[in-house]
Amino acid sequence: MHFDSRINRPTITTNDVVRPTLIEVDLSRLAENYHAIREQIGSAKIMPILKANAYGHGLVEVARLVESLGADYLGVAVLEEGILLREKGIQMPILVLGGILGNQVPYFLKYDLTITASSIEKLWQVDEIAEQLGSKAKVHLKIDTGMERIGVHYYNAGGLLEASVKCKHTDVEGIFSHFANADAADLSHARLQVERFEEVLSFYEKHSLPAPRLRHMANSGAILQLPEAYFDMVRPGLMLYGVYPSPEVARTVALRPALSWKSRVVYFKVIKPGHPVGYGSTWQSDHMVRAVTVPLGYGDGYFRSMSHKAQVLIRGKRYPVVGLISMDQIVVNIEWQSAYNDDEVVLIGEMGDEAVTVEELAEWAGTIPYEILTNINTRVPRVYIERQA
């Protein structure tokens, strides 16, 4: 372990980790992505989204980094994520984006976390509890412009906005919405959502009501494709980590992945023809091959649905994973090439001139990059590196 004086924290290094399977997070690349986003958005504030363990990159470490970089706000999904950040010393504003229940409100107040108010009833409940506890709540109003999850419908938002200015124990500092299709090639629905949000915001001027200070809507897709949605603040999620949200999205900001997933060869064998590999005996070779075993599996988040499709890098070359992926082990066919115990295996990341991307794993698993990253189990240790400038 070494001490990083720039951001005042101890950083786990690869040498501290005993398990050969690990996630390596390049904090320098994260910082580069952050600065590229900052340059793109002009004067708008920035709220990095750190939900689901910062998309698998490590909630606390990423929070410490973006706080040191001068981010304006943090976004998380659930109360517990916000509490953990406070307990680990994060002092910047934190918005919990998900829906709430009344019995959670005292914890929001205790830990100075910003609440998403998605209805008049919830807003009044927050205000009443804040009064009872002699405290002041911070709230952002949630407007549903086309997602149909939480939030008051845009066509019924007037009552919520009127109620918000009557709250005596609540600082309604923000109002926001969320896109359903901002990462698509066809942006017609996304632009309709912007129009609906602007229509809601016009209510304040029409009724001479004070508007919240922070209006925000733009997720990663909108940051890349819809500058008209920047408003006062943007909310980069997946793009902060160097991954584009869809194949169709315009790549107007240069990004590089910050996460690598690595392991090591723990066993080498020669497999005779006609000797099947793994559960179900689903794969066998018709000729003699060399194979290696790597200590990870679907118990770590390496999806079983990638069986017979996944590829890894060993000694700079691509090799196929063969047989069904087990909970804790995979077998890689290296044909008649060479590999040795302790050789590095790259599951996501670069080795020499080759690279395996998150997008490839998503295609093999029949899912999206978000699910690949957020499903890497917490039993896989995260280590952090910073390249010298």
Between CA 142 and CA 212 the distance in angstroms is 12
Judge whether 6 lies within some domain. no
Cβ atoms of residues 119 and 92 within 8 Å: no
The 10s digit of each residue's pLDDT in 156-184 is 999 999 999 999 999 999 999 999 999 99
Same domain membership, residue 237 and residue 268: no
- Exposed, middle or buried, 159 (CB in 10 Å: 0-12/13-18/19+)? exposed
Mean pLDDT computed over 362-387: 96
Full domain range(s) for residue 149: 42-241
Between CA 127 and CA 284 the distance in angstroms is 65
Around Cβ 1, how many Cβ atoms within 10 Å? Answer: 8
Catalytic, 279? Answer yes
Around Cβ 185, how many Cβ atoms within 10 Å? Answer: 11
SS3 per residue for the chain = CEEECCCCEEECCHHHCCCCCEEEEEHHHHHHHHHHHHHHHCCCEECCECHHHHHCCCHHHHHHHHHHCCCCCEEECCHHHHHHHHHCCCCCCEEECCCCCHHHHHHHHHCCCEEEECCHHHHHHHHHHHHHCCCCEEEEEEEECCCCCCCEEHHHCHHHHHHHCCCCCEEEEEEECCCCCCCCCCCHHHHHHHHHHHHHHHHHHHCCCCCCCEEEEECHHHHHHCHHHCCCEECCCHHHHCCCCCCCCCCCCCCCCCEEEEEECCEEEEECCCCCECHHHCECCCCCEEEEEECCCHHHCCCHHHCCCCEEEECCEEEEEECCCCCCCEEEEEECCCCCCCCEEEEEEEECCEEECHHHHHHHHCCCHHHHHHCCCCCCCEEEECCCC
Mean pLDDT computed over 308-332: 98
- What per-residue confidence (pLDDT) applies to 16? 61
Judge whether 19 lies within some domain. no
| % residues pLDDT > 90 (the chain) | 94
Residue recorded with tokens 């044909």: 335
What are the residues facing 45 on neighbouring strands? Answer: 233
- 2, pLDDT greater than 90: no
Of 215, 241, 267, which residue sits at a domain end?
241
- 14, pLDDT greater than 80: no
Cβ atoms of residues 93 and 174 within 8 Å: no
Q: Which long-range contacts (CB under 8 A, 24 or more apart) does 193-198 make?
A: 193/145, 193/146, 193/217, 194/145, 194/226, 194/228, 194/229, 196/145, 196/146, 196/154, 197/143, 197/145, 197/154
Judge whether 145 lies within some domain. yes
Same domain membership, residue 153 and residue 60: yes
Catalytic, 73? Answer no
Of 14 and 252, more confident: 252
Judge whether 94 lies within some domain. yes
Judge whether 200 lies within some domain. yes
- 4, pLDDT greater than 80: no
Mean pLDDT computed over 19-42: 97
Same domain membership, residue 270 and residue 201: no
Same domain membership, residue 225 and residue 301: no
| From 155, 267, 279, 340, the catalytic residue | 279
Judge whether 281 lies within some domain. yes
Same domain membership, residue 197 and residue 73: yes
The 10s digit of each residue's pLDDT in 78-128 is 999 999 999 999 999 999 999 999 999 999 999 999 999 999 999 999 999
| From 34, 51, 230, 384, the catalytic residue | 51
- What per-residue confidence (pLDDT) applies to 3? 38
Same domain membership, residue 267 and residue 189: no
Judge whether 91 lies within some domain. yes
- 7, pLDDT greater than 50: no
Instruction: Using pLDDT thresholds of 50, 70 and 90, give the confidence band for residue 18.
Output: confident
Of 17 and 349, more confident: 349
Between CA 194 and CA 217 the distance in angstroms is 8
Number of structural domains found in the chain: 2
- 217, pLDDT greater than 60: yes
Same domain membership, residue 287 and residue 144: no
Same domain membership, residue 293 and residue 160: no
Average pLDDT over the chain reads 95
Same domain membership, residue 282 and residue 220: no
Same domain membership, residue 228 and residue 263: no
Same domain membership, residue 195 and residue 295: no
Instruction: Using pLDDT thresholds of 50, 70 and 90, give the confidence band for residue 13.
Output: low
Mean pLDDT computed over 135-160: 97
Same domain membership, residue 321 and residue 174: no
The CATH number covering residue 204 comes to 3.20.20.10
Mean pLDDT computed over 286-311: 98
Mean pLDDT computed over 223-242: 98
Mean pLDDT computed over 50-56: 97
Of 213, 241, 269, which residue sits at a domain end?
241
Of 212, 241, 270, which residue sits at a domain end?
241
Judge whether 16 lies within some domain. no
- 243, pLDDT greater than 60: yes
- What per-residue confidence (pLDDT) applies to 388? 62
What are the residues facing 354 on neighbouring strands? Answer: 351
The CATH number covering residue 303 comes to 2.40.37.10
